[in-house]
A and B are shown apart, each in its own frame.
Chain A
């Protein structure tokens, strides 16, 4: 089973790296880019766990380790059952 977790900064947190990327894109002529937020992608490969148990464990893992809840939020999905 493959899981993909996306971690990014909460909306209230300033993302200077995202801003830098946005400015660079504007300089290159892509003026239609309104905003850029930079984040992280984690792909976890699981074995020996049921889908139901995985659906309980993944948010826990994301909240406890992969993201810092003070400044980051996350979403996740199963990409390969």
Chain B
């Protein structure tokens, strides 16, 4: 009955199938096979990644909930907690950019409010192929529109993120969406059933045929025949979800429910089995009672449907009417479709017959875990082939070229389409080092950022993992925020390829080491494998979402220069490191070399220095040095300043000029201070063992950078600003 073709269609290996038969003591019927297919898919089971993810540090005194639930939870004091997570929606965004991205937002929002937290912020990390290719432009346009339409309609501000461009993403765009919510510590809800006899309610949109096998699609490479997977992309209805969030928060506030789980990947299958498995009970539902918007749906289709905006609720029988009344107020379906039972089975009825009878443990917990073979990549790319000596005099041109590289250029074209101000918490506009949200009625604020340089991870995965964490924390430090928790989205190619699995192992090891050094717990995240099309993989792309706390919002520091005549200070030291730099790529077309070295102790010292300097009110501005190096950083400080004045910097390091200006040495910040505070800042730096030097002054209409008195860069801020500002809009201008 079940032949190889059916197994292939369901992405199950013969071994996995044999294990299913062993676990349930018989052959599964087609609906039951479908259930195993989705629940044992990479996306749902993490079968290739769990082995390595185990080493991530997940404990901390403020961790209320670590990995394993819908989202992670960190205590921020004052009786409040933050609930946050990042998720990917890569494959659907390639098939149908608008809906793929929109439903990605919908999914992560549900993961947050299902725990009892009102979502207050979204961020997204987007990766596309070069904009010179029309298809990549169309994907970017669709993705940004999709995120905009869903997030704006929900009234949750999209406050930050990143957009990267690289050829490896042409056929595999990445859409990682992060969401954060705030809740009361005593009012958190989990995916649990409670005791047997409790009612199981289905709330939200009707079930249709959308997205069937969406989870399996996310667990397979794309080939030439993927066009037919188009019906696998779900269509979102943000208005419905807005009603859902209000209704759910209302039943939670009134304490009418026992547990709740959203129906995301693998819809009804996942929510029923996971809720039961976590509680050690069973669950029994009748599909004839499930609200459906299509006719003639089979049990297979109903169980596997990924129709959006649906939740599963467990409630004590005496509370059911009250729950239904709340949902009726918000014009949403709320139907009792079954009950919690003893015995640990998932029993599904259809047309009076038992269509599914499986042990939940087998579905949720007993998927085999794989330690896939790893093989290190060739190290030859670590050498940078002979570089011509930097030509004198055209550094201004190179800087302009970097400013017009889409990865570095201004992203206002993107974030202007997102409502980033709704909920009136946004303390700084997008574009800075991190997003900062005030917490109403307190002096505190939350800072959050998404970071992950994939070129570094490609050239040296372990170092890439280390730097991703370090850079995110550095961005937070620039705003005076101390990191409290991490969520991560790990985007990789096909894990069945040993080199990819090795990249994964190395990145996770690098990330773990950095998280331990910074003492920040990983509260959860997402793994997206199989970002591979026609055999070409993406670069390993770890996207780190780090959240921090600012103790006093009034002490907030921004990246832009504040006043003319301030002293520009370089915190940290520059070494001659051009590997993996945007400069090498933009000027020479090369992606080579070893990423810059990272010394965690040195990095921590610089961040501590910045945090303390901000606490003591010493800094006028602070900005992290990353892609494009010191020169791009200085340019950005000018662009972010209100009056857009420039600066004059004179550097004296004995290294190549281009490495000095554009190299991406880690652990460096560019700050500005009032002249009478310079001494105190330098003293503080010395105390912390951080190299710091005054390198120039802010002011004037030009950006001037000298190396040992020789003027290398002298461009007008206005010209640089124009280039930086208009790069991305120019790609989308209608001719």
Contact = CB atoms under 8 A, between A and B. Distances in A.
A20 B734 CA distance: 8
Interface string A37-68: 00000000000000000000000000000000
A23 B735 CA distance: 9
B127 to A, nearest CB: 26
Interface string A2-21: 00000000000000000010
Nearest to B734: A23
A53 to B, nearest CB: 28
Nearest to A23: B734
Contacts, number: 3
Contacts of A27: 735
Nearest to B735: A27
A72 B421 CA distance: 32
A76 B734 CA distance: 35
A23 B733 CA distance: 12
A23 B734 CA distance: 9
A69 to B, nearest CB: 25
A70 to B, nearest CB: 24
Contacts of B735: 27
Interface in B681-735: 734-735
A66 to B, nearest CB: 18
Contacts of A23: 734
A4 B734 CA distance: 34
Contacts of B734: 20, 23
A20 B735 CA distance: 11
A27 B735 CA distance: 9
B731 to A, nearest CB: 15
A79 to B, nearest CB: 22
A27 B734 CA distance: 10
A17 to B, nearest CB: 12
A59 to B, nearest CB: 28
Nearest to A24: B734
Interface in B532-565: none
Contacts of A20: 734
B198 to A, nearest CB: 40
B200 to A, nearest CB: 34
Interface in B448-497: none
A27 B580 CA distance: 39
B32 to A, nearest CB: 38
B145 to A, nearest CB: 13
A20 B141 CA distance: 15
A27 B134 CA distance: 13
A19 B735 CA distance: 13
A27 B733 CA distance: 14
A1 B408 CA distance: 58
B137 to A, nearest CB: 13
A7 to B, nearest CB: 20
B295 to A, nearest CB: 15
Nearest to A27: B735
A63 to B, nearest CB: 25
B293 to A, nearest CB: 15
A15 to B, nearest CB: 15
Interface in A17-39: 20, 23, 27
A27 to B, nearest CB: 8
A29 to B, nearest CB: 15
A29 B735 CA distance: 14
B508 to A, nearest CB: 45
3 contacts: A20-B734, A23-B734, A27-B735
Q: Which 3 A-B pairs have the closest CB atoms?
A: A23-B734, A20-B734, A27-B735
Interface of B: 734-735
